[in-house]
A = this chain, B = another copy of it.
Amino acid sequence: MTARLVDVAQLAGVSRATASRVIAGTPRNVAPELVERVERAARELGYRTNQSARALRTGTTGTFGVVVPSLANPYFVQLIEALSRRVRADGGVLVVSDAANTPDIEAREIDTLVNGKVDGLIVVPVTTAESGAAIKAAAAIRPIVQFDRWSEGAGTVAVTMDNHAAISMLIDHLRGLGREKIALVAAEQSSSSGAERSAAFRDRLGEAGRAIVLPSITTDAGRKAGRRLIRMRADVDAVVCAADVLAIGLVTTLNRAGVAVPDDVAVTAFDDTAILEVLDPPLTSIRHPLDAMADRAIALLHGDAAAREERVERFAPELVVRASSGAGRER
Which A residues lie at the B interface, using CB under 8 A? 2, 48-53, 55-56, 59, 61-63, 65, 71-72, 74, 77, 80-81, 84, 88, 93-98, 100, 105, 108-109, 112-113, 115-117, 140-141, 219, 248-249, 252, 274-275, 278, 280
Contacts and interface: CB of A to CB of B under 8 A. Distances in A.
A46 B259 CA distance: 60
A52 B48 CA distance: 17
Q: Report the copy number of this chain in the oligomer.
A: 2
Contact of A115 (B51, B74, B84, B100): B51
A143 to B, nearest CB: 15
Nearest to A72: B77
B74 A81 contact: no
A2 B117 CA distance: 17
A56 B50 contact: yes
Contact of A98 (B81, B117, B274): B81
A262 to B, nearest CB: 18
Contacts of A117: 51, 61, 63, 95, 117
B95 A97 contact: yes
Contacts of A53: 56
Contacts of A63: 112, 117
Contacts of A59: 52
Contact of A252 (B51, B56, B278): B278
A117 B94 CA distance: 12
B80 A95 contact: no
Contact of A50 (B81, B105, B116, B274): B116
Contact of A52 (B56, B62, B98): B56
Given A52-B55, A71-B96, A84-B98, 17 more contacts: A50-B115, A50-B116, A51-B115, A52-B52, A52-B59, A55-B116, A61-B117, A71-B77, A71-B80, A72-B81, A80-B98, A81-B98, A93-B109, A93-B112, A94-B97, A95-B95, A117-B117
B98 A51 contact: no
Contact of A97 (B96, B140, B141, B274): B96
Among A49, A71, A219, max chain B CB count under 10 A is at A71
A192 B33 CA distance: 46
Given A71-B96, A97-B93, A98-B96, A219 B81 contact: no
Contacts of A71: 71, 77, 80-81, 96
Nearest to A93: B112
